[in-house]
Amino acid sequence: MAWETRPVRAVDDGQAPDAVAVEEPLEIRVHGRSVAVTMRTPGHDRELAAGFLLTEGIVDGPDDLAALEPVGTSGNVVDCVLSSGVDAHRDALERATRELYASSACGICGKTSIDRVRIVASCAVPAHDLAPAFVLALPARLREGQAGFLATGGLHGAALARLDGSLEVVREDVGRHNAVDKVLGWRLLADRVPVSDAVLVVSSRAGFEIVQKARIAGVGAIVALGAATTLAVDLARDAGIALYGFASADRFNRYA
């Protein structure tokens, strides 16, 4: 369950139970070695780990994963065993090792140097020029798939939209970057990467790491319900990604 009830005292209504988003740590290991700890909403943890490994450049597809399974009884550890022929990605694994945890607010918080920020993308990004009506319809479709947000108001959402406007997958998490990793990991585990035939939709702002993840996965367009940042705009322009922000039923901005 993405949320639990907790007693609260409201100013106007007195004490009553309220739905609160669940936040717990997830440790991602590779061959038993810890490479990241992220604060996430439990559920779809294999997708989250797969998406993380993809967007960190450690794997390119499901064939790179010999195993990806939970460890122990806590439910808060996932271990990946790489296939024997993935030695080319060992340097990416070294780069991905983080000295600090990635909080739910910022997925880049443990990177040990500014050089870690720009990861070389291995696939070309397709150009997607989206019709205005397509963009305007996406916020409502994303919200329809966000049961956790409707219950708690505390979960970010991410989705992949087909080019006909329908959503093929929606995921939620306390961390916006985790929600993105979950949908990209879903595609990787389905052996459908690069994600050149879909648009990434996010309920949050479009920060640098969101665009970076899309770039690594081969996504050609991002529609954010929130704002964009300068680094996100610059990276989207450099990569040829169409970047939309402040999307709602009646307006949006196109930044790149």
Distance between CA atoms of residues 195 and 247, nearest Å: 21
Q: What does the DSSP assignment read for 182-236?
A: HHHHHHHHTT--S-TTEEEEESS-B-HHHHHHHHHHT--EEEESS-B-HHHHHHH
Distance between CA atoms of residues 154 and 197, nearest Å: 30
- Residue 236 in tokens: 């989207």
Distance between CA atoms of residues 190 and 203, nearest Å: 24
Asked whether 210 and 245 are in contact (CB, 8 A), the reply is no
The CA angle 236-208-161, to the nearest 5 degrees, is 65
Distance between CA atoms of residues 186 and 169, nearest Å: 8
> Is 123 one of the catalytic residues?
no
Which one from 80, 106, 109, 123 is the annotated catalytic residue?
Answer: 106
Count of CA atoms in the C-beta half-sphere (13 A) of 48: 31
Catalytic residue positions?
Answer: 106
